[in-house]
Structure 1
């Protein structure tokens, strides 16, 4: 990989936010990356740590000096905007609004969430609830782009097809603040053949949603076979997607400038090895 392409390749992994922004920045640079994802709060709970403004300012300086151009926050898994339970939907709205306010401490970045599970209410009802939350929480003044994540389609998940995501986007009033995060494991498990027909999948995404909405990639192999509608991530090259497919993905002209985030079952050394592997595949 040329030095020029190395600098352009935005690659990172998921880190623990308990360390603070500056330490996450230092950790990803030590791992060989230049971007990272983090949970805004406990992924299985609701509490969020207070923002340390000194830490944020130190991170901004470090990021500028080390080429960290963008970071991705991830909403907690407990956030289900389309639950049948009103109290769970209320929790989702309050958490979402609080997260978006907190993201303005590091302006101009990305916030990703799982659309949710409708739990036998049906996709249309679930979609209406998701839209309601987004319309109540997204503000014209915010600098953060909210990303809907593509889902694998297990259970009653919404977001298993590009059309389901488009249906949400179309009904959000301030949808200029909306984008999509494509998860390679999820779309493969959902039945989009990124191994044998990547060009067609990208064309379908463009036709249905529009490539201008695609803002980030979760780059994960899959433990399960194609169209299995499961959601079990595997290390790069060790699952059913395979290394050759990832080489094509990270070098595809429509994707090459996007940030890529590993969510594979790994420790720090494993992430460093995967980042090095993906860098070696970059042309």
Structure 2
């Protein structure tokens, strides 16, 4: 059973994200609880939270994912940024619980001079501080890499999971993996990537996929998403990915662009076509 949806807006109330998802014919989805480019607390009222929960159940839309702020940096050696990141993550977790959303997704961030091991230590210890509500899981997202960003390799993802006593899981982003050097453009490449992920991290930790094609070549560390099948991963790679046994039952969330007359609805339908093929 294919579970496919898109990142939708909470403008006008978080319940509107469900209505938007229905317009795309999506069955799962992702939201920001506020603008991801500023330090801001989630502002979800009791009534709109109840409406979000009710509409999601009524139309069988879910699971949902809360994507944390882009400013969060769990790997940072800077005390002030670390505290802001922990505070922001805690509030996202509490908002997710209020909305009955099972996942909060986060990028590890950049170690900015602390080194890979130091950055992973910082991330794990920051996550340890969190009071994770029952029914909510933190997902560590794979990154495109570049500079001192961490999470672009499966070893780095595994390093955080191994260091942290929380029950962490993983969200893989296809465009990010491709940019980081995991070639998903062929069936053989997809097979090899999943085999490596299973060996290093474990497929039991894969709980969500951000399904995006890439505008740039494999291994460039350039993070720019393309429509499904129309980027450098292409139809062949995307078809192999969505039909792979490793992602059976895993929800796919689109973060594709809105350009060239193609919206999320176009990409949802394209994924279904590739899956049915």
Check the 8 A contact 2:29/2:62 in 1, yes or no: no
Structure 1 residue 137 and structure 2 residue 130: aligned?
A: yes
Structure 1 residue 227 and structure 2 residue 222: aligned?
A: no
Deviation readout 1:58-103 (Å, 9 max, x if unpaired): 2222112211130011001011122232111110011111111121
Deviation readout 1:131-176 (Å, 9 max, x if unpaired): 111100043x5311110011111111111110111111111112x2
CA drift of 1:49 comes to 4.0
Deviation readout 1:179-229 (Å, 9 max, x if unpaired): 100000111111112223111111111111111100001011111111112
CA distance in 1, matches of 2:192, 2:101: 31
Q: Aligned to 2:95, which of 99, 102, 105?
A: 102
Higher mean C-alpha deviation, range 232-241 or range 202-211: 232-241
User: Where do 4+ consecutive residues of structure 1 move more than 6 Å?
Assistant: none
CA drift of 1:108 comes to 5.0
CA distance in 2, matches of 1:17, 1:122: 37
Paired position in structure 2 for 1:31: 24
CA distance in 1, matches of 2:237, 2:131: 36
Q: Check 1:269–1:228 CA distance in 2 against 1; reply closer, same or farther (3 A cut).
A: closer
- Using the size of structure 1 for normalisation, the TM-score is 0.92
Paired position in structure 1 for 2:177: 187
Structure 1 residue 256 and structure 2 residue 248: aligned?
A: yes
Alignment of 1:83-232 (within 5 A): 83-107=76-100, 109-139=102-132, 141-174=133-166, 176=167, 178-196=168-186, 197-232=189-224
- Could you tell me which runs of 5 or more consecutive residues in structure 2 were left unpaired when the two chains were aligned: none
Q: Give SS of 1:143's match.
A: coil
Q: Check 1:59–1:269 CA distance in 2 against 1; reply closer, same or farther (3 A cut).
A: farther
Q: Aligned to 1:273, which of 258, 266, 277?
A: 266
CA distance in 2, matches of 1:89, 1:49: 19
- Could you tell me which runs of 5 or more consecutive residues in structure 1 were left unpaired when the two chains were aligned: 1-7
CA distance in 2, matches of 1:91, 1:49: 14
Paired position in structure 1 for 2:75: 82
Structure 1 residue 239 and structure 2 residue 231: aligned?
A: yes
- Using the size of structure 2 for normalisation, the TM-score is 0.94
May I ask how many residue pairs the two structures share in their alignment?
Answer: 273
